[in-house]
Amino acid sequence: MRYLFLLITHCFALGLDLKGVNDLDDWTILQDGPIMVGWQEFQGYPISKAETILEYDMLSIAELIKNLEHYPNIFKRVTDTKQLESDIVQIILDMPFPFSGRDYVVKYAIEQKDNQWVFSFYSVNHPKGILNDKYVRLPNAAGVWILDQSSLNKTMVTYAWNGELLGNFPDFGLKKAWITQGTEVLTWLNEALSIKVKS
């Protein structure tokens, strides 16, 4: 009985795991084109996915994604990142008026193979992850970056996340918000890579 309790506790502690998101079928496509955005329900949550091919090598893209300290310089809606432990970070996001900002505290892991790089994260509680009362905490935040090297200077980039926004955000606006978020994130990543190459 004790082992069953520990197993259940361990499963809940792991949070929402989206590493296998590319193996899921039945995506509802919200936007097609250079940046594809889709969504589906997974384990009771609305999961969104955006993907595109960027004309940069996998490791150059990975360096930017794992550099959490510089997220406010790359992703324009990120106003602050706070490293709480070596693998735990608090991320604070701006939202368009009239909505409150959002924040989340996540534990992350990095896996690297020859032709693939995966950065996954899921929500955890942490005593240093103090919530400002002007923000809405996303307690089920989870996501993954998957980089698949297509060729020397082409990489398929997949970004997937739990699309919950909670707070006063209306359900009817979620699909538009997912399209905006997926498009912005991959566009800003591409812009940051372009600046890095020029410098």
Q: What is the pTM of this model?
A: 0.90
Going by pLDDT thresholds of 50, 70 and 90, the confidence category of residue 198 is low
| All domains of the chain in start order, with CATH | 17-198 (3.30.530.20)
Measured CA distances, 116 to 38, 112, 148 (Å):
22, 6, 5
Q: Which pLDDT score is estimated for 96?
A: 80
Determine the pLDDT at residue 103. Answer: 96
Phi then psi for 123, rounded to 5 degrees? -65, 145
Give yes or no for a contact between 92 and 135, defined as CB atoms under 8 angstroms apart: yes
pLDDT, tens only, 129-141:
999 999 999 999 9
Check residue 199 and give its pLDDT. Answer: 59
SS3 content of the chain, % helix, strand, coil (to 5): 30, 40, 30
Which tokens is 20 given? 């296998």
3-class state of residue 106 by DSSP: strand
